[in-house]
Chains A and B, each alone.
Chain A
Amino acid sequence: MNQATDHSHIPDWGVDLDPAKRPAVPMERTPPRLDGLHWDRPSQQPRTVEVLHSIERPGITPVFGTSAPPKGLSGWIRRRAFRRSESDLSHWMLLLLADRVNVAEGLADDVRRSPRARAAAFGLAGAALALWVLRRRRT
């Protein structure tokens, strides 16, 4: 134990000094102190969208999120990533690549949906085309 010091300036110092008062001691505690549980195992959530799953488990979990299902080129890359285990570095690198491709898809989607972004994109494309034509004429 370290040398004792004065802690009178610290409000409530040591109220949880006794490890028995700390709720996560011991780390694994059974049975769990959990009110309201009324199932032995969770029932299966219906699959309404494509859900990828790690090959380190036999299938999807009973419950899962349904946010942003895979689609487009990024989705194709994600499906390939999920053919590799979580222990394989390429699994994660492919997912990061898919994320960057997905960003480009998102930008294209923004251009498609927003009149202002569409006008800006057309303006930029027109300016680039005009610049290209002018340069060709000079040569």
Chain B
Amino acid sequence: MLATTYRRPYRVRAARVPEPVIEHPDDAIVRVTRACICGSDLHLYHGLVPDTRVGSIFGHEFTGVVEEVGANVRNLKAGDHVLVPFNVFCGTCASCSHELYGNCENVNPQATAVGGAYGYSHTAGGYDGGQAEYVRVPFADIGPTVIPSDIHVEDAVLLTDVVPTGYQAAEMGDIHENDTVVVFGAGPVGLMAARCSWLMGAGRVIVVDQYDYRLEFARRFAQAETINFREVDDMALHLKKMTDWRGADVCIDAVGCEADGNFMQTLTGVTLKLQAGAATALHWAINSVRRGGNVSIVGVYGPTFNAVPIGSAMNKGLTLRMNQASVKRHLPHLIEHVRAGRLKPRELITHRVPLEEVDEAYHRFSAKQDGCIKTLLIPPRAGRIDPPTPVARPPSTHLH
């Protein structure tokens, strides 16, 4: 089969590899219909995540058709079209029993600090990913969700990570009515976090990035105020002035370990790798939020350490909340939002390319060329997908 294989930093290849097989009676094999390149895939692509092995298959955002199921699988059958949350999780461990599916204890032998994820290095369990024609899906009875007939496949594929991660970013900010929310990073997750902040009653939403095309997108997609940090001398000072010298109520780091904007952070974190990436956005978040405010982190950092002003966080009495999204717990609610048109995730997709062109697609996304926000990959054996069929439903009151 064709798959996106890692070769070296800044180089992936669409290569022929053996097809996956059932390795556990709770597994399924899924034929991928759509896959996306995530911003966090770029950390792998740039060689920043430890234990990223040559030949491993990338991709943790995908939908697909079930081709084969293991002996114990009861709830899925061949032919089901499913979206697969990026978390691999068992459903029964201490974390899963508290709905913390991104922190499952039974799926990642290599690192106790990290849960399991598809196509995200051996530090996340060594699972092959979904930027391929086929993928092995463990715990098929609880992970995948059958795509409702009225949900577009391009919305479905973004429900595997981008939408829940953006929503959870806003949720962890504990937004109250008329709060001022600052989102660092205008990538797909940051844009979704900005949009979700309004749903939670924010009074102002400000998005910070360095690319004008992304800021323009943020104004249109998320009705946000925007700041290009290249045009600002001091980010924290600028935000204090914008907020009557108090600071924002909530700051969201949707950038992670490859932030630009601070020479020393970039030198020590990205170039020399003396810390687990450049924590510039997190530094700004801590210094820009008000006393007693909330900082929410969904940007991905490496497992070693980062230089951040933790003393200021302590003295300001901040609440820091962070986690990988627990996708499955959010899905019923977010499917309702998509169905009702409150969230329109597929508007984020700017590029649709065949899987064979994945190397160029990664390069374009990494270099921020051609107005790239989100790239959708279409495998050669994706097959025909029926358009969504509108279903008449009573207004939903099931919002948890």
**Could you list which residues of chain A lie within 8 angstroms of chain B, going by C-beta atoms?**
1-5, 7, 9-17, 19-25, 27-43, 45-46, 48, 51-54, 56-57, 59-68, 70, 74, 78, 82, 86, 89, 92, 95-96, 98-100, 102-103, 105-107, 109-110
Given contacts A15-B199, A92-B303, A106-B7, is CB(A61)–CB(B108) below 8 Å?
yes
Q: Which of A19, A23, A66, A106 has the most CB of B within 10 A?
A: A23
Report if A64-B107 is in contact (Cβ < 8 Å); known contacts: A24-B99, A31-B97: yes
Q: How far does the Cβ of A119 sit from chain B's closest Cβ, in whole Å? A: 19
Question: Is B1 among interface residues, defined by CB-CB distance under 8 A?
Answer: no
Specify which of B54, B177, B249 is in contact with A17 (CB 8 Å cutoff).
B177
- Asked if B38 CB lies within 8 Å of chain A CBs, one says no
Specify the chain A residue showing the minimal Cβ separation from B52: A99
Cross-chain contact B75 with A36 (CB below 8 angstroms): yes
Instruction: Tell whether, in the assembled complex, residue A63 and residue B111 are in contact, meaning their CB atoms are under 8 Å apart.
Output: no
Known A42-B92, A63-B139, A68-B54: A7·B198 in contact at CB below 8 Å: yes
Question: In the bound complex, do residue A92 and residue B50 qualify as a contact, i.e. CB atoms below 8 Å apart?
Answer: yes
Set of chain B residues within 8 Å of A13, measured between Cβ atoms: 198-199, 201
Find out whether the CB atom of B98 lies under 8 angstroms from the CB atom of A28.
yes
Q: Give the shortest distance, in Å, between B145 (CB) and chain A (any CB).
A: 10
Stretch of B211-219, B279-287, B327-335 on the interface side: B327-335
- Is B187 part of the contact surface with A, judged by Cβ < 8 Å? no
> Does A65 contact B127, Cβ atoms closer than 8 Å?
yes
Of A9, A27, A98, chain B has the most CB atoms within 10 Å of the CB of A27
A-B contact pairs, 19 of them (CB 8 A): A7-B203, A10-B198, A14-B199, A17-B201, A21-B400, A24-B99, A24-B172, A28-B99, A32-B99, A36-B75, A54-B111, A63-B26, A65-B126, A86-B111, A92-B304, A99-B47, A103-B8, A103-B9, A106-B54
Restricting to B20-39, which residues have a CB under 8 Å from any CB of A?
Answer: 23-26
Given contacts A32-B91, A37-B92, contact A86 B113 (CB under 8 A): yes
Contact of A54 among B24, B57, B110 (CB under 8 A): B110
Q: Which one of A33, A65, A70, A98 has the highest number of Cβ atoms from chain B below 10 Å of its Cβ?
A: A65
A65 touches B125 (CB 8 A): yes
Query: Contacts of B81 on A, CB cut-off 8 Å?
Result: none
Given contacts A16-B200, A23-B329, contact A102 B138 (CB under 8 A): no
Q: Top 9 nearest A-B pairs by Cβ distance? A: A65-B126, A65-B127, A17-B201, A106-B54, A53-B109, A95-B50, A68-B53, A28-B98, A2-B178
By beta carbon, the residue of chain A nearest B114 is A86
Which among B90, B122, B177, B223 is the interface contact of A63 at CB below 8 angstroms?
Answer: B90
B304 engages A89 (CB within 8 Å): yes
Q: Taking A12-B342, A54-B111 as contacts, is the C-beta distance between A67 and B23 under 8 angstroms?
A: no
B157-192 to A contact mask, C-beta < 8 Å, 1/0: 000000000001001101011111000000000000
Contact residues in A for B209 (Cβ distance below 8 Å): none
User: Chain A residue with minimal CB distance to B140?
Assistant: A36
**In the complex, A12 Cα to B339 Cα: how many Å?**
13
Chain B, 103-125, CB within 8 A of any chain A CB: 105-113, 116, 122-123, 125
Q: Is the CB of B109 within 8 A of A57?
A: yes
A59 to B90, CA, bound (A): 17
Residues on B lying within 8 angstroms of A by beta carbon are 7-9, 23-26, 47, 50-57, 72, 74-75, 88, 90-92, 96-100, 105-113, 116, 122-123, 125-128, 138-139, 141-142, 168, 171-172, 174, 176-180, 196, 198-201, 203-204, 223, 249, 273, 302-305, 321, 326, 328-330, 332-333, 340, 342, 399-400
Contacting residue for A68 out of B9, B72, B126, CB 8 A: B126
| New contact pairs (8) apart from A63-B90, A67-B53, A78-B51, CB-CB < 8 Å | A2-B203, A4-B203, A12-B342, A24-B99, A30-B98, A37-B142, A64-B109, A74-B53
CB-defined contacts of A36 to chain B, threshold 8 Å? 74-75, 141-142
Question: By the criterion CB–CB under 8 Å, are A105 and B56 in contact?
Answer: no
A-chain residues with CB within 8 Å of residue B92 when the two chains form the complex: 37, 39-42
The answer on a CB contact under 8 Å between A63 and B106 is yes
- Inside 8 A of A56's CB, which chain B residues have their CB? 112
Q: Once bound together, how far apart are the Cα atoms of A27 and B100, in whole Å?
A: 8
CB distance from B106 to the nearest CB of A (A): 5
Complex CA distance for A42 and B116, rounded to whole angstroms: 15
**Contact residues in A for B105 (Cβ distance below 8 Å):** 61
Shortest CB-to-CB span from A52 to chain B, Å, is: 6
Write out the residue numbers on chain A whose beta carbons fall within 8 Å of the beta carbon of B305. 89
Q: Given A43-B25, A65-B127, A89-B304, A52–B171 Cβ distance below 8 Å?
A: no
